[in-house]
C-alpha cells in the first residue's frame, strides 16, 4: 500500500469509526500543498473534542503525482520491502536483513513461503522433528532429516513420497550422531555444498532418562547431556558455519522443553531438565553472537507431547500420563502435528524480528 492509499484509508477509517461530525483533509487537495510535503501532518478534528491524531511522516514525491482513488492500487505505490534494498554501511544491522524474494505462488502467505530454501532437522527421523519437516516441505522447502536411527520411522517414507508428488519438494534422510562434532560438521558441509546454500536448522534431537538425582548414574548423565546439549551445540554451530560460508541469512530453532523452565511435577528427571535449561541459555547466547550477521536463534519449549520417547516414559511409569494430563489446562497432551505452525513461523520471514526468544507452548501447563 502506498502512502497516498494509506492517507486515504486513514481518512475513510475515521469517517466510519467515529459517529460525530468530522472534517477530514480531502485527498483531492493534497497536490495543492506540495510545498508542505516534507512536514505534512494529517489531522482529524472533531467539534468539542481534542485532537485525535497527529502523525508526522515524510511523504514521497510520488504521493503527490498520483491520481488514484481512495485505497485503490497505484503504480507508484511504495513497496515496504524496499527497505531491504537501501544502501547501508557494511556493518549496519539493516544490511544483514534477508532479501525478499518474489512471491511465486499466489496461494501462499508470502512471509511463510519457503520455496527454494534448504533446511536441516536433527531428530527428524520420527516424532516432533518429522512433523516439523513436513510443515517446511508444504511451504516449499527442501529438507534434510538427520537422526541416529538406522532407518527413519515408516511415516518418513510416506512424507517423502508426498513431498515429491504433492509439493514438488524433496525430503532426505541422513544417519548421524549429533555427539560426533566432526561427523556433524562434515554432514552439514556436504548438504550446503550440494545445495549451494543452507537457510536454517531445527535442532530437535534429544533423549530423556527418568531417574532421581541420588540414583542417577554417571553414564546416563553423560549420555543425556551429550545428546541434549552438546548435540544441539554441535548442530547449531555446524549450521551457522555453512550459513556464514555461503553468506546466507536465516533462522535456527533449538528445541528445549518446558522442563527447562520448571521442576516438572510428575517427572523425576533432574538431568533432562537441566539439559533443556542449558539449551534455552544457549539460544540466547548464539542469538547475541549471530544476530548482526542475519542469523536468528530462538528456543522452543513444548509441553508434554505424545512421541515415541514419551511413550517409553509411560511404559516405565504408567501413572505419569494421568498426572500430566491433570496438570494441563487443556486436560490433554499435545500431538507432534500441533507444532507444525510453530516450526514454519520460526523458520520463515514471518518471525524476521524475533531472536533470542523462548517460545513456551505447553497447553497452559506452566501457567497455573
Q: Cell 500430566 sits at which residue?
A: 324
Q: What is the torsion angle, in degrees rounded to the nearest 10, for the CA atoms of residue 184, residue 188, residue 189 and residue 194?
A: 140
Kindly list the catalytic residues. 272, 276
Residue 193 burial (CB count, 10 A): 13
Task: Give CA–CA dist 232/204, Å, rounded.
Answer: 8
Bridge partners (DSSP) of residue 147 are 175
DSSP string, 63-117: GGG--PPTT---TT---GGGGGGS---TT-GGGGSPPPPPP--TTS-GGG--TT-
Task: Please check whether residue 340 is in contact with residue 131, taking contact to mean a CB–CB distance below 8 angstroms.
Answer: yes
H/E stretch holding 2 = none
Three-class DSSP category at 341: helix
194 Cα distance to chain centroid: 24
Number of residues assigned to the chain: 368
Task: Give CA–CA dist 191/112, Å, rounded.
Answer: 23
Amino acid at each position: 500500500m502506498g502512502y497516498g492509499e494509506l492517507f486515504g484509508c486513514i481518512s475513510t477509517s475515521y469517517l466510519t469509526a467515529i459517529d460525530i461530525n468530522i472534517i477530514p483533509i480531502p485527498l483531492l487537495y493534497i497536490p495543492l500543498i506540495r510545498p508542505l510535503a516534507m512536514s505534512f501532518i494529517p489531522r482529524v478534528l472533531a467539534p468539542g473534542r481534542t485532537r485525535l491524531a497527529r502523525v508526522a511522516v515524510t511523504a514521497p514525491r510520488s504521493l503527490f503525482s498520483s491520481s488514484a482513488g481512495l485505497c485503490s492500487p497505484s503504480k507508484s505505490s511504495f513497496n515496504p520491502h524496499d527497505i531491504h534494498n537501501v544502501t547501508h554501511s557494511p556493518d549496519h544491522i539493516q544490511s544483514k536483513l534477508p532479501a525478499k524474494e518474489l512471491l511465486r505462488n499466489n496461494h501462499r502467505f508470502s512471509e511463510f513461503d519457503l520455496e527454494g530454501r534448504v533446511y536441516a532437522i536433527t531428530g527428524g527421523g520420527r516424532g516432533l522433528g518429522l512433523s516439523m519437516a513436513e510443515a517446511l516441505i508444504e511451504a516449499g522447502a527442501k529438507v534434510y532429516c538427520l537422526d541416529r536411527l538406522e532407518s527413519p520411522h515408516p511415516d518418513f517414507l510416506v512424507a517423502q513420497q508426498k513431498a515429491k508428488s504433492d509439493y514438488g519438494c524433496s525430503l532426505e534422510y541422513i544417519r548421524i550422531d549429533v555427539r560426533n562434532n566432526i561427523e556433524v560438521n562434515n554432514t552439514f558441509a556436504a548438504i550446503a555444498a550440494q545445495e549451494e546454500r543452507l537457510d536454517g536448522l531445527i535442532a530437535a534431537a534429544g533423549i530423556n532418562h527418568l531417574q532421581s538425582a541420588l540414583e542417577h548414574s554417571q553414564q546416563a548423565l553423560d549420555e543425556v547431556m551429550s545428546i541434549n546439549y552438546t548435540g544441539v551445540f554441535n548442530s547449531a554451530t555446524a549450521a551457522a558455519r555453512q550459513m556464514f560460508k555461503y553468506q546466507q541469512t536465516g533462522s535456527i530453532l533449538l528445541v528445549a522443553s518446558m522442563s527447562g523452565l520448571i521442576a516438572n511435577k510428575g517427572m523425576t528427571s533432574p538431568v533432562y531438565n537441566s539439559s533443556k535449561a542449558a539449551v534455552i541459555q544457549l539460544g540466547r547466547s548464539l542469538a547475541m553472537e549471530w544476530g548482526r550477521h542475519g542469523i536468528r536463534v530462538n528456543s522452543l519449549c513444548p509441553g508434554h507431547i505424545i512421541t515415541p520417547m514419551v511413550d517409553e516414559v509411560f511404559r516405565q511409569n504408567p501413572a505419569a500420563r494421568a498426572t500430566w494430563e491433570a496438570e494441563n489446562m487443556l486436560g490433554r497432551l499435545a500431538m507432534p502435528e500441533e507444532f507444525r505452525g510453530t516450526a514454519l513461523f520460526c523458520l520463515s520471514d514471518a518471525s524476521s524480528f524475533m531472536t533470542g526468544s523462548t517460545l513456551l507452548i505447553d497447553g497452559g501447563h506452566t501457567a497455573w
